[in-house]
Amino acid sequence: MMFSKIHLQNFRNYENEMIQFFPGTNILIGDNGQGKTNIIEGIYYLLTGKSYRVHREQELLRWNQSEFHLYGEFLINQHKVSLESHYKDKKKMVKINQVSCQRLSDFVGTINVIFFSPDDLVMIKGGPAERRRFLDLHIAQMRPGHVAILNAYNKAIHQKNALLKSFSERNYKYSQIQIWNNQIVELGRKIILNRFDLTKRLQDAAEPIYANLSSNKEKLQIVYNSLGKRSVEEAINEFPELMNDKLEQEIERQMILIGPHRDDLQILLNNRPGRLYASQGQQRSLVLSLKLAELELIRQEKGEYPLLLLDDVLSELDRFRRDYLTRFIESSSIQTLITMTNADKHLELGTLYIVEQGHIRRDR
């Protein structure tokens, strides 16, 4: 797979800009506030249908504009594939080879991408929602049907929450809640199975990477804790019973107390939570290991590496981790887009671009 170009119209600070990319490393250099990250965000949005920075498309519009358009071209097995994303009047339309997609799940995973920025430390430092999001985004790229399952599950959760908060008569609540519980269990089991499967594969791929980063002095463990169970069999089999056990408490507290929307991914360093006990440098190594493991899993699944987007990552890594990452990229021939404020001597062979005030030009 090769990403050949992107066209941005009225996206962030870009009025009408076309950028051609090349195999290997592509380096975007510019001062802060010039639009480097906006390019990376545009590419990520084009490939996944989501921004990693904001939740509302309105915030992606160029000032005083009502619509934006993104267009990208890719080469897959010598065949050109085009992707488009058009946002207008609070509606989003996506196309593959100029053919509209009815659902986002028909679009996600066409081109795989891994994004890495200093903000990804939130996977270690943040709450369970950040780690669930990490799992779900990766699963969706390899199994796009996961998006539809998540959407249906979240809809059922929303409807059950509304029922719990309603002033309906208690017996009516009991009967209706059971209907939603059946849907939540059916969909939730699929989510749990997908997450358990990915967690096991991540563990197998990330453990040796972290061992190399720590000179075999420390051990990384990744454990998906679902419904308070560490075994997928226990979680799946006991889910209906656990839902029934929580029913009275849920009605009393008017909130859903159990389900995969409350699960967590435990990232352990030497059997202790990395969130509490890992140093800043160790946390960076944990995230780096997870990101490189993601690259390997997609290669195993799709037969080739995904596009890699690095937003101001190298400046946040110490020399050892930076060298490890750049060696990995170069040895694997991964097409990579990197943003930075100054050129890095370790990336002299890359294609260099200068970004200034919403315009970009190739420098070498």
Residue numbers belonging to the annotated binding site for ATP: 30-37
Closest to 344 (Cα-Cα) out of 362, 324, 326, 358:
326
Q: Mutual orientation of helices 128-142 and 170-213 as an angle, nearest 10°?
A: 80
Helix, strand, coil shares of the chain, percent, nearest 5, are: 50, 25, 25
Closest to 306 (Cα-Cα) out of 94, 141, 107, 133:
141
Q: Mutual orientation of helices 319-332 and 280-302 as an angle, nearest 10°?
A: 10
Strand 336-340 with 220-225, pairing: unpaired
| Alpha helical stretches, state H, the chain | 36-48, 122-125, 128-142, 145-165, 170-213, 232-245, 247-253, 274-277, 280-302, 319-332
Q: Tell the residue number behind the tokens 């200093």, with chain if given.
A: 118
d(CA 9, CA 17): 7
Edge-to-edge strand ranges of the sheet holding 91-96: 14-20, 2-11, 67-76, 79-88, 91-96, 99-100
Point out the annotated binding site: 30-37
Give me 58's structure tokens. Answer: 């309105």
d(CA 221, CA 225): 12
352 backbone dihedrals φ, ψ, rounded to 5°: -105, 135
d(CA 206, CA 289): 5
What is the SS3 assignment for 178? helix
